[in-house]
Every structure is written in structure tokens, then in C-alpha cells.
Amino acid sequence: MKRAVDFLVLGAGIAGLRAALTLAKSGTVMVVAKEAGQESNTHYAQGGIAVAMGGDEDVALHLEDTLMAGDGLVFSPAAVALVEDGPLRVDELMEWGARFDREDGELMRTREGAHSLPRILHAFGDATGAEIGRALRAEALRHERIEMVEWRMARSLMVRDGRVVGADLLDHDGGTHRVLARATLLATGGAGQIYSETTNPAVATGDGIALALEAGAEVADMEFYQFHPTALNLPGVPRFLLSEALRGEGAELVNEAGERFMERYHPMLELAPRDVVARAIVRESRSADETNPQTIYLDMRRVRGVNLRERFPGISAFLARHGLSLAEDRIPVSPAAHYFMGGVRTDLHGRTTLSGLYAAGEVAATGVHGANRLASNSLLEGLVFGARAAEAMVADAPLCSGKVDGKDESVGQGFVEANDGASVRIADCVERLRRCMWRSFGLLREGAGMRRGADEVAAIAGELESMRAVETGGRAGNEAVGMARVARAMAASALAREESRGAHFRSDFPTKRVEFARVHTVFTESVGVRFTSFGEE
């Protein structure tokens, strides 16, 4: 089946939906989601959205905190765009019906790690992302030019004469739908599933980055994955996120002896930047016995003046299902892969290095987060850069119009679902890949281990490629091939950066090196890794 729309948006999280609302003013929009509309990282965001709504001084402080957290690698024009556009985008969101928590009519604000003051708006306590997603979806559904398509996976981009002119979508029956568009936006979110330990839902397999790589676009900063310090650590239970806002409200980190330990690692204690807290937890857990790590706990039992069940209803309900309570128990925690700073390289308006292709939100690398994202800046990123990308798509679209109706190319049959044997082999490859990435490209990295990891990733990618030719198919096969593709780019970039900065920590190069300051890795499959400064090309 073949369709033509003006604008194709791949992804229905905060970035894709925000973009769609601007695009719909100028043409028809198809928004595609791999699962049900709400299933996305956006839906699970708990803590809130950082925004400086108190005027110039407030905005300047937000910028300062963002630059500081990014550890010398933030592309400052991107951060300026984020903090300056932010208040307008959040006001707009409230006009569309997003309800943030208020006290006596005033917006409530909380504080999270590395923020110099409380500036994080939240909704229904700890359900901020779900509320924002709900409001954006409701607004999009009211728009007659926006078509929402669920349970379809973009499996490849269509490139004609060097320009992206749409995508092939796979449905759950193995059918393929070709959608032609004047401009295509990647808003496919993160890639946490590449790691065996992650807070991300199953949809977050890095597809947009894989699609862009396959089409020949540049990706950047692929060595920078943020590991959230405090995911629930219970055997057999998913790594449920325990929001940083818990620490903002006074939660302490303690070891098995009940001793608060962060003072040994950073003066900001539990509210130090995420990478610092995450590494401190691992180090503390291994401090007595490297081979038999002790459990680390989040402890709120001494917090006074906050009704924890009311302030954190979602977290409290999840913990209750596992017999735990914030007010009465120490909660076992460990770090997990959480947010991808790297992604498809874009300018400040979502333009990738391929014409007709744009990217916004977690899938994109604008340089706004540098080497380490400031907590709660990513929902804001989705709003700000979703809107900016949409404006660029509209502005550039006349240049592209007319071409997409070109000759009717035949569409292949699409991947048929893998047979049982292939499904097992695909699942096995993915499990090995995820464990390898956690082991070799996780929180603590080191050259020899990374080289072994890179070899293993390449071997798994080879296995998947050879299977793909004859028998892989469906969503699982496509995701697996894409994950291996993304993992190879991550491995190459991590090996190339011979220093420690932000979320990228190497024990063989444990300090920052001046020659890597403001220098980003850029990767393409044809060239491999090169270094560049954003804004200078």
C-alpha cells in the first residue's frame, strides 16, 4: 500500500506530538507509533520538566546549570535555545490542557540533582510524562489534519537522489506500507533496551538512529549514555525508576551498614550530577568486596513534612506491589541505562545531514546536553526542539514539494515473521548484545574490555545480518539488526574518546583531557568516527 502525506512523523512521544501540532498548520501529518499511542519514554517520565519561568535571571541560571552538568561539551547555542524557548513552550502546553501540580494556585516546583534551585514542574506527583502525553495527544486528536497510526514500525527510510522522501512501515502482520512525505521527522526516542539494565520501556530500541545510519546520516556523541543512579534493584523485577525527585525531597543513599556515603564522593551529596552519583553507588557497593557487591539503599525514613504517598503516588503504588514503602523501608537501588545524549546529529532546527530528514527529542544529538544531561531537561528538549524541527520542515518543504509523487516503485513483500527457530536465535543475539553492552560500555569502561566488547558486538551484528538475508523478519528481527547497528556506533565512539567526561568514564583515561574539550565524535558507517566542533562546519 502506498500513501502520500505532507509530513511524516515517526514517533508519538513528546517530540513527535509537539512537532505534529505545528506541522498540521501547514499540511497533512501522519504520526506513527510502534505500539499503542502512549507507550514511550515520555509516558514513564516521573520527576518533571525543568523550566525557568521567572525571567532573564532565572533563564541564565538554568543555562548555567545545563552547561555545568554537560561537563564542557554542551553546544551552548543549543542550550540557549532550550532555556530561552522553554517558558513559551510550557505555557503553550498548559493552554492545551496539561495540568501541573499547584499549591494555592501557584505552580509547585521541586529540585533535582545539579539544579541550583527548584525549577521542576510536576504533575499528579510523579506522573508528569503521562499527563503531558495525554494533553498533547488530546490536542493532536482534535486536529483533522493529524492522523495517528499505532502499532506500525518504521523499518527503513526511502532515499531518492540523496533526499529522504518517506519511509516504509511494517505492520504487525508483516505487511509493508510505503508512506511518501515532503519531510520526515525522526522522533523515535531513546535506546535503553540496548543495555541489559534499563529504565526504558520495550519500544526504546534506538530505531531512529539505526534508520538514520542505514540511510547514511551522521550520528554524534554516541559514547554518552546517561545511567540513572536509582532504579529499583529487586531480583526478577524490571528496573523501575525511582525518580531523582525523591532525593530532591530529602532521600539519602546509604550502604548496608546504614551509613550515608555520598560525602566521600561529592560536595553536593545525593544531588550531585547523575554520573557522579551513579558511579559513587557502584564504587560504594564494591568498596568492601569487589566480587561480592553490597546492596545500596535509598532511605526516606527520616524525611519530615512531606506526605510521601501523596507526593509520589505512582512510585508508592509500584513499591507497595513488592511489599515496600518509602516511609518505612530502605529501598534497594542500582544504576540503569536511562537517557541517550547521543543520537542523530542535527542543527538547532532539527535538520540532519540528509535533506528531507529531521530529528528531535531523545533520538537527536543537538549537543544540548553535552556529556551529561541535566535532570528533567529532556521533556523540555522534546517540546523546544520538536517545535523548532517542525518550523524548519515547513520552511524547507517548498524546496521538496512535487518530487515525492515520482515513479511508483514496487514495494517488497516486507519481512515475514521469523519462524520459531529464527525467533529464538534473534532473542539470543539480543540478550548477548544487551549483556555485552552493559559489561563493556556501561558505567565504568576500560580500553581492553571495550575492545573485547566491540569484537563481540561486531560478531553479533554479523550473525544477525546473515540471518536477516534468509529468515529474520517482523519487529523483533528489524529491531535486533538496528540495535546491533547502533551498538557498533556506540562502541566505536567510546573507544575513540580517550578521556573521561560526563557519563563516559574510562578507568584507563580517568581524567578530562583538554584536547577533547568541546570536541564531539561524529560517526557514519562509511567513514567511522571523526572528531569535530559543533557549529564550525
The reply on whether position 233 binds ligand FAD by CB under 6 A is no
The reply on whether position 32 binds ligand FAD by CB under 6 A is yes
Contacting range for ligand FAD; rule: CB under 6 A; set: 36-44, 96-104, 300-308, 416-424 = 36-44
- The residue within the footprint of ligand FAD, chosen from 199, 226, 352, 372 (CB under 6 A), is 199
Tell me which residues in 347-406 interact with ligand FAD (CB under 6 A).
Answer: 361-363, 376-379, 382
Contact 135, 15 (CB under 8 A): no
Using H for helix, E for strand and C for coil, what is the string for 252-305?
EEECCCCCECHHHCCCCHHHCCHHHHHHHHHHHHHCCCCCCCCCEEEECCCCCC
CB of 527 to ligand FAD, least distance (A): 25
Kindly state the cell numbers that stand for 320: 507497595
The smaller minimum CB distance to ligand FAD, of residues 376 and 500, is found at 376
The smaller minimum CB distance to ligand FAD, of residues 387 and 454, is found at 387
The smaller minimum CB distance to ligand FAD, of residues 293 and 313, is found at 313
Write the single-letter amino acid at 20.
Answer: A
CB of 460 to ligand FAD, least distance (A): 20
Helix extents (H) in 40-177: 41-44, 56-69, 76-95, 128-142
The smaller minimum CB distance to ligand FAD, of residues 44 and 297, is found at 44
The smaller minimum CB distance to ligand FAD, of residues 49 and 404, is found at 49
- The residue within the footprint of ligand FAD, chosen from 82, 187, 443, 476 (CB under 6 A), is 187
Contacting range for ligand FAD; rule: CB under 6 A; set: 40-48, 68-76, 79-87, 497-505 = 40-48
d(CA 463, CA 204): 22
d(CA 317, CA 328): 14
The reply on whether position 273 binds ligand FAD by CB under 6 A is no
Residue span 139-158 as binding mask against ligand FAD, x where in contact by CB under 6 A, dash where not: --------------xx----
d(CA 182, CA 162): 14
DSSP assignment letter at 159: E
d(CA 90, CA 86): 6
d(CA 504, CA 501): 5
CB of 484 to ligand FAD, least distance (A): 15
Tell me which residue has its CB nearest to ligand FAD.
13
Question: 88 burial class (0-12, 13-18, 19+ CB within 10 angstroms)?
Answer: middle
- The residue within the footprint of ligand FAD, chosen from 19, 33, 165, 422 (CB under 6 A), is 33
The C-alpha angle 456, 285, 439, rounded to 5 degrees, equals 5
The reply on whether position 129 binds ligand FAD by CB under 6 A is yes
Paired with 351 in beta bridges are 358
Contacting range for ligand FAD; rule: CB under 6 A; set: 6-14, 247-255, 403-411, 492-500 = 6-14
The reply on whether position 11 binds ligand FAD by CB under 6 A is yes
The reply on whether position 203 binds ligand FAD by CB under 6 A is yes
Contact 423, 51 (CB under 8 A): no
Residue 201 has φ and ψ, to the nearest 5°, of: -75, 175
- Strands, sheet with 219-220, edge to edge from the N-terminal-most edge strand: 364-365, 343-345, 219-220, 520-524, 528-532
d(CA 444, CA 454): 15
- DSSP-assigned states of every residue in 438-449: HHHSSSSB-HHH
Write the single-letter amino acid at 212.
Answer: A
The reply on whether position 200 binds ligand FAD by CB under 6 A is yes
Kindly report the length of the chain: 537
Kindly state the cell numbers that stand for 411: 514495494
Of 18, 111, 247, 274, the active-site residue reads: 274
The reply on whether position 334 binds ligand FAD by CB under 6 A is no
Contacting range for ligand FAD; rule: CB under 6 A; set: 11-19, 348-356, 418-426, 529-537 = 11-19
d(CA 269, CA 244): 13
- The residue within the footprint of ligand FAD, chosen from 5, 8, 9, 15 (CB under 6 A), is 15
Write the single-letter amino acid at 445.
Answer: R
CB of 216 to ligand FAD, least distance (A): 18
The smaller minimum CB distance to ligand FAD, of residues 261 and 312, is found at 312
Tell me which residues in 42-61 interact with ligand FAD (CB under 6 A).
Answer: 42, 44-49
The reply on whether position 246 binds ligand FAD by CB under 6 A is no
The smaller minimum CB distance to ligand FAD, of residues 22 and 500, is found at 22
d(CA 289, CA 438): 20
Check if 274 is active-site. yes
Distance of CA 398 to the CA centre of its chain: 31
CB of 132 to ligand FAD, least distance (A): 8
CB of 452 to ligand FAD, least distance (A): 29
The smaller minimum CB distance to ligand FAD, of residues 15 and 73, is found at 15
d(CA 242, CA 229): 9
The smaller minimum CB distance to ligand FAD, of residues 370 and 453, is found at 370
Please give the positions annotated as active site. Answer: 274
Q: Contact positions toward ligand FAD, by CB under 6 A?
A: 10-16, 32-35, 39-42, 44-49, 128-129, 153-154, 187-190, 199-200, 203-204, 207, 241, 339, 361-363, 376-379, 382
